[in-house]
Structure 1
């Protein structure tokens, strides 16, 4: 699944024009191209370079990741696509979040690119299920604060998947995935008596990714 998602992301990169690549993404202050840079940096950055950057960032992982993404995004788009294909089969397995975290990172950031550009979702149901299970399973460190889904029930309208007890939140699997990971734009696509509470938790600085 991860290998195929990396290759499909390479196809996406090659389909974008310069204006699209420099457009804002859903991911904080990153452009579309910087999001792509982040996805490549995870597998294409030498360990020595990553460690040096981590040192320079005061061992703040998120800050180091942001710098890596920006540095990688300086490369031409065709080179970024080539790097994704070259490293598509990289067996890197992040600690704690493991392969489900890698797959979820690719899917969420793919939507960070596609949504603001008005592109089709192009997501695979079986992969969405893996990511949804991961996001509510307690191991999604850096993806979902534990407080965010607690005491709520999530139900997807296009996939036979549900989780939790409490006020209900209904929506497509894509919208639920994005809302769980703090993408405010997805909240408008959800319904149910639990949406207001989820919105409060997503807006609360203590509950952000």
Structure 2
């Protein structure tokens, strides 16, 4: 849990994030659902299918799919996202997000802070890829950066930030040491998570390493 933040406060952020994303997704043109996201190999449709998986899948399905994937969580998540993306129309995914704003799902070992991170990061995978100008509230970002900017998180995402100092230009936040990589805090969060960002989002000598070509 973030410093000074109660579980109830984090859960309010989760509910707000899901409702805001549902409203945003509801307003997308049909073709946007088949546009690529920042998640390699996933369209917007697969990202939202993955986000809503905890709301429509049973524990039995999770275990069965993990066995099928030989214990590889990423392989399991990819298979399920692709299957689920074709199972329901866009409006059903929007409804799932809205109706489950207060769903108590938590990622294994991640707590409610991990659930908030999951929703915010995947929401950004969609909005940045589509060029939608959505700014995640600063308080939400601080909670997420506290948990995401760790050695464990960087190992999980395989992010190499050796010799790079992340420096936000829209709030007081920085991490690491070395050559400065400057951008909005939410963009730097995606860098930590191993995403390649659209051109022009980052500044500084290391920017090219973290920008899609």
Of 36, 48, 65 in structure 2, the residue corresponding to residue 53 of structure 1 is: 65
Q: CA RMSD in A?
A: 2.3
- Distance in 2 separating the partners of 1:162 and 1:141: 16
Q: Partner of 1:189: helix, strand, or coil?
A: coil
Which residue is 1:28 aligned to?
40
- Distance in 1 separating the partners of 2:186 and 2:89: 30
Displacement, 1:22? 1.1
Which residue is 1:105 aligned to?
118
- After superposition, the Cα gap between the structure-2 partners of 1:180 and 1:187, relative to the gap in structure 1 and judged at 3 Å, is farther
Confirm whether residue 171 of structure 1 aligns to residue 178 of structure 2.
no
Between the two proteins, the alignment pairs up a number of residues equal to: 199
Of 169, 186, 189 in structure 2, the residue corresponding to residue 157 of structure 1 is: 169
What's the TM-score once normalised by structure 1's chain length? 0.84
Which residue is 2:148 aligned to?
135
Which residue is 1:72 aligned to?
84
> Which is further off, 20-29 or 104-113?
104-113
Q: Which runs of 5+ in 1 are unaligned?
A: 204-209
Q: Partner of 2:108: helix, strand, or coil?
A: coil
Displacement, 1:115? 1.9
- After superposition, the Cα gap between the structure-2 partners of 1:175 and 1:77, relative to the gap in structure 1 and judged at 3 Å, is same
- After superposition, the Cα gap between the structure-2 partners of 1:21 and 1:54, relative to the gap in structure 1 and judged at 3 Å, is same
Which residue is 1:82 aligned to?
95
- After superposition, the Cα gap between the structure-2 partners of 1:115 and 1:195, relative to the gap in structure 1 and judged at 3 Å, is closer
- Distance in 1 separating the partners of 2:64 and 2:142: 36
Deviation per CA, 1:146-165: give whole Å up to 9, x if none.
Answer: x6234432110101111222
- After superposition, the Cα gap between the structure-2 partners of 1:144 and 1:56, relative to the gap in structure 1 and judged at 3 Å, is closer
What's the TM-score once normalised by structure 2's chain length? 0.82
- Distance in 2 separating the partners of 1:24 and 1:70: 13
Which residue is 1:144 aligned to?
157
